[in-house]
Amino acid sequence: MLSVDRIYKSYEGQPLLNGVSFEVRESETVCLLGSSGSGKSTLLRIIAGLEEPESGQVAWKGKPLGNTPAHQRRFGLMFQDYALFPHRNVAENIAFGLRMQNLPKDEINTRVNGALQTITMTGFAQRKVTELSGGEQQRVALARALAPNPRLLMLDEPLGALDRTLREQLSQELRRILHESKVPAIYVTHDQEEAFAIADRLLLLHAGVILQSGRPHEFYHHPKNVWVARFFGLGNLVEGTVSAHSPLQVETPLGLIQASCNQDPPAIGEKTTLLFRPNQAVQDPNATENKITGKVLDQVFQGENYRLTLAINDHIPEFNLTLPKPAEIGAHLQVSYPPAQVLCLDNGAEV
Amino acid sequence: MNRTLRRWSKHPTWRALLLWVLPVAFLAYFFYQPLLALFNLVISPTWGFDLGSLNLDRIWRPLSFTIGQAALSTLLTLILGLPGAWLFARFTFPGKKALKILTTLPFILPTVVVAAGFNALLGPRGWVNLGLMALFNLSAPPIQFLNTFGAILVAHVFYNTTIIIRVVSNAWAQQNIRLRHAAQVLGASPWRTFREVTLPLLKPSILAGTFLVFLFNFTSFGVVLMLGGPQFATLEVEIYIQALHRLNLPLASILAILQLLCTLLITLGHNRVSGLGDVVTSPPAHTLDARKPRTGWERLVVILLIITLFTLLVAPLASLALRSFVKLEPTRGERGEIQRGLTLQFYRELGVNRRGDLFFVPPIAAARNSFIFALITIGITLSLGLLVAYALGQHTAINKFLDPLLMLPLGASAITLGLGFIIVFNRPPFSTLRFPILIPIAHSLVALPFIVRTLVPALQDISRSLRNAARVLGASPFKVWREVDLPLLTPALLVSTIFALTISLGEFGASSFLVRPEYPTMPVAIFRYISQPGALNYGQALAMSTILMLASALGIFIIERLQSPGKDIF
């Protein structure tokens, strides 16, 4: 439905969005994930028509929107700071978009009441928005954005300003409301847990481009490169040089490691980075490959498992493991990784 | 006993009372006493004044004229100021910074300087008239500007346009841009966004600015006296004339009380509407959206506005400065071919007592007097201002009663103050004849509300935990003050100092009552010279005005640099 095509936008001379392209399909919630300053909000404003891209285009059902001003796009946008009109009460805020469509008064009233029910704030119609709590303001902002039945809803860090417990509660409510309204949505956040919870599909924005897109679990199992693995905190990253193909062998400070690769492995002699996930280490005394030995530095009890930190050598002062059994601090410990569990990652896009 | 006393001394109410003692005593003696004396004069029978015999027309005429000219001036100011605010809030253009600095100038420029500036531009000896006379060989100045109603209006627009621009454009620029974005995304066209979101949110600041401008126009004195002449007597001018020229103190007092009531009403109205501006939901995250004018129509309006504002602000001041360096007419006593052109004569003459008169000291002495008065004013206002700021910081119940008492002098005009002073203090120990200390005291009363408004927010900004941190780290209460409060207050103290300095240097209303011939201040001396015939007197008045203008300009530029962006004295 919405297609964003090679959007370019610079900020103070630096490219901020460097050819961003993606699509949003019918009744799909897409999560745009990126660290702060990555240009997520700018991208939303460009889609909304509040800012103009320097090149590239935004299209709805194939029709370019370049000449459609913001107020004629019928996209909803929920702002990070909610941007509720301080001079209007709750009902008037929700009614604003309906009034802009010049709907009859009765219909506006009915729909405002309906919206208040959806956000379970029926008694709040006449309240001043300045007197609402953060969570209440958030829900009014959502109701205001949804009331005019937008073709697309965009949410800019909608839970960003709230505290942890409220966030978990409201993110469930948001998911329910988005699901019920069936409106295609772009949800912007920097919080991966929130993104995993809300998204049908995830887009990772980094250095001005969509670095990877896919369903949440794909990011976990097949991070596209080192940066993605680091962003999601997937595990220990060890640099090395490819020394042989089939089987793939990489020379690292841990020794010669056999690894596997999702895409074509780098050429022999090229640099690469290996991902060792903490929970995939095995304690098998008969293992012959990928043996790792180190001194236990620290150990934290985590309920079902123990989180250990090993010191391996000068190059790798800290290596994290999750093991079912405790170890003795200061003792030497040997673990091994099956070659299929050591992922060889692309170094290239590291910025 | 001793322990009870010590506990008492630590009680916040007690501490607040201690801090309040001096400021309250000062205000009671020097502000409320003269004020009461005015009332007393009107009702007391000893003056032989009969309220019943009063010709109401003598009150109604200046009152209606004051209201009328203030309303008209305010309207004209809004007509120019609101587009000006739009210009500053929404657009970037070359020279914006310079124009922005220029708009700060009228705020603190003494009325005598502005009057002298318009005189140098449009007066009978001004550039325009002399130029037209030379061009068309006329024997008399073709443009009659001085002593017209138009002159008063133009000067008021000059003064107050920048107030509207600053108050409204600040509010405009600080408006959360996302509110406008939200309206647009919800389907509001640009015009509808302006009408439904921007304008309603600007309303409090527009109203507050309007009240403020109306108040300034209502209490305008120097401008009316020097540009309008006696036939356009506002309440202020009428009080001045009745008290100093007709010696009709009871009538002057009635007018002063009337004036006080009116200004009080206007101030109350202003406070009411400016309080409305505080409803801000969230700190504005994205506010910077000034852009270049895009369409041809926008460009035309922007250019016209820039030219109008630039001309209005610069023309009188530039004429003043230039005219003070140029000799165009013969001085008295000079015969034959006169030397026209650049000259420093007017500045050299500032040090000479031409008349040899006992009462006419050389003009440069006026500068020295002004400077001494300003130093005393700085001392008084800073000490009292700090005490008040700390007292208000104690958050006790007495603040509720004392705070309004403190801000009342804002509503009283300098003329009323001067009148009250001569009624109360024109006898020992303060006889104005012998004791010019009353002048800096009057200046302090005028400046104090500004100082308090500068210091109180600065003090509130100092987080309590900073002081606690210093105390826990072993600093004694005095050291806490020296190491935490003082350095953090320094910018505000500097701003206050410059405010006190420039207000004192330019104060004209109260000074015109209190100044004696042998102790003139600069504004009084300028008024004296400019109202006398002769090209030399005129040149000297302009030279002194130029000096005063430069001093004030320097002051306001430093204040601008020191004040954090977004904060304004209004």
Q: Check residue B282 and give its pLDDT.
A: 41
Cβ neighbours of A85 in B, within 8 Å = 179, 182-183, 197
Q: Check residue B306 and give its pLDDT.
A: 92
A240 assigned to some structural domain = yes
Are the C-beta atoms of A76 and A142 separated by less than 8 Å? no
| pLDDT tens digits, B410-435 | 667 888 888 888 888 876 555 555 56
Q: Which of A226, A242, A277 represents a domain boundary (last residue)? A: A226
Cross-chain Cβ contact B186/A83 below 8 Å: no
Give which of B563, B556, B559 is closest to B107, Cα–Cα.
B556
Cross-chain Cβ contact A45/B196 below 8 Å: no
**Residues A46 and A192 both lie in one domain:** yes
**Residue A58 structure tokens:** 């935004």
Q: Check residue B278 and give its pLDDT.
A: 45
Cross-chain Cβ contact A97/B186 below 8 Å: yes
How many domains, chain A?
2
DSSP conformational letter for A279: G
**Residues A137 and A173 both lie in one domain:** yes
Interface test with B, best of A96, A102, A108, A183 (most B CBs within 10 A): A96
Q: What is the CATH number of the domain that holds A170?
A: 3.40.50.300
Q: Check residue B13 and give its pLDDT.
A: 74
Give which of A179, A315, A178 is closest to A236, Cα–Cα.
A315
Å from B215 to nearest chain A CA?
A: 27
A35 assigned to some structural domain = yes
A350 assigned to some structural domain = no
ipTM exceeding cut-off 0.90 for this assembly: no
**Residues A247 and A337 both lie in one domain:** yes
Please write down the long-range contacts of B480-487, taking CB distance under 8 Å and 24 or more positions apart. B485/B459
Cα–Cα distance measured from residue A89 to residue A96, given in angstroms and rounded to the nearest whole number: 11
Task: List A152's β-bridge partners, or say none.
Answer: A75
Q: Check residue B227 and give its pLDDT.
A: 87
**Residues A187 and A131 both lie in one domain:** yes
Cross-chain Cβ contact A81/B179 below 8 Å: no
**Residue A5 structure tokens:** 């095509």
**Which positions ≥6 away from A38 have C-beta within 8 Å?**
A205, A206, A207, A208
Q: E strand or H helix at B342, and its extent?
A: strand B341-342
**What are the start-end ranges of the H helices in chain A?**
40-48, 90-100, 105-118, 134-146, 164-181, 192-198, 216-221, 226-231
Cross-chain Cβ contact A77/B181 below 8 Å: yes
Nearest residue in chain A measured CA to CA from B178? A83
Q: Which of A171, A201, A226 represents a domain boundary (last residue)? A: A226
Beta-strand ranges (E) seen in chain A are 2-11, 14-24, 29-33, 55-60, 63-64, 75-78, 152-156, 185-189, 201-206, 209-214, 236-244, 248-252, 255-261, 271-276, 291-301, 306-311, 319-323, 332-336, 342-345
Averaged in consecutive runs of 10 residues, what is the pLDDT profile of chain B (570 residues)? 61 78 90 87 65 74 92 96 91 86 80 87 84 84 85 92 88 86 92 92 90 90 85 87 84 87 85 60 51 86 92 88 77 54 73 58 81 94 92 78 72 83 72 71 90 88 83 83 88 90 89 82 86 78 87 81 56
**Residues A94 and A122 both lie in one domain:** yes
**Residues A189 and A206 both lie in one domain:** yes
CB hemisphere CA count around B498 (13 angstroms) = 22
A351 assigned to some structural domain = no
Task: List A206's β-bridge partners, or say none.
Answer: A209
Cβ neighbours of B193 in A, within 8 Å = 71
* 3-state SS, residue B293: coil
Give the β-pairing of A271-276 and A236-244: antiparallel
Class of domain B61-232+299-323: mainly alpha
Which of A82, A97, A130 lies at the smallest CB-CB distance from B279? Answer: A130
Owning domain of residue A90: 2-226
A255 assigned to some structural domain = yes
Give the β-pairing of A306-311 and A236-244: unpaired
Task: List B291's β-bridge partners, or say none.
Answer: B91
Cross-chain Cβ contact A85/B197 below 8 Å: yes
Query: How confident is residue A350, by pLDDT bands cut at 50, 70 and 90?
Result: very low
Which of A71, A85, A87 lies at the smallest CB-CB distance from B189? Answer: A71
Which of B178, B190, B192 lies at the smallest CB-CB distance from A81? Answer: B178
A12 or A201: which leads in pLDDT: A201
Cβ neighbour number for residue A262 with a 10 Å cutoff: 13
Phi-psi region of A154 (alpha: psi -120 to 50; beta: other; left: phi over 0): beta
Q: Which of A226, A245, A277 represents a domain boundary (last residue)? A: A226
**Residue A234 structure tokens:** 């997937």
Cross-chain Cβ contact B196/A96 below 8 Å: yes
Q: What is the CATH number of the domain that holds A294?
A: 2.40.50.140
Query: How confident is residue A288, by pLDDT bands cut at 50, 70 and 90?
Result: confident
**Residue B14 structure tokens:** 């007690």
| pLDDT tens digits, A121-174 | 999 999 999 899 888 998 999 999 999 999 999 999 888 777 888 888 888 888
**Residues A238 and A144 both lie in one domain:** no
Q: E strand or H helix at B535, and its extent?
A: helix B535-562
**Residues A34 and A94 both lie in one domain:** yes
Nearest residue in chain A measured CA to CA from B180? A83
**Residue A250 structure tokens:** 């990489």
Cβ neighbours of B178 in A, within 8 Å = 79-81, 83
Nearest residue in chain A measured CA to CA from B192? A100
Size of interface A-B (CB pairs under 8 A): 88
Q: What whole-number percentage of chain B has pLDDT above 70?
A: 85
| pLDDT tens digits, A41-93 | 899 999 999 888 999 999 999 999 988 999 999 999 998 888 899 888 999 99
Interface test with A, best of B186, B287, B289 (most A CBs within 10 A): B186
**Residues A26 and A64 both lie in one domain:** yes
Q: Check residue B302 and give its pLDDT.
A: 92
CA-based angle A36:A40:A42, to the nearest 5? 115
Burial of B114 (0-12, 13-18, 19+ CB in 10 A): buried
Cross-chain Cβ contact B279/A76 below 8 Å: no
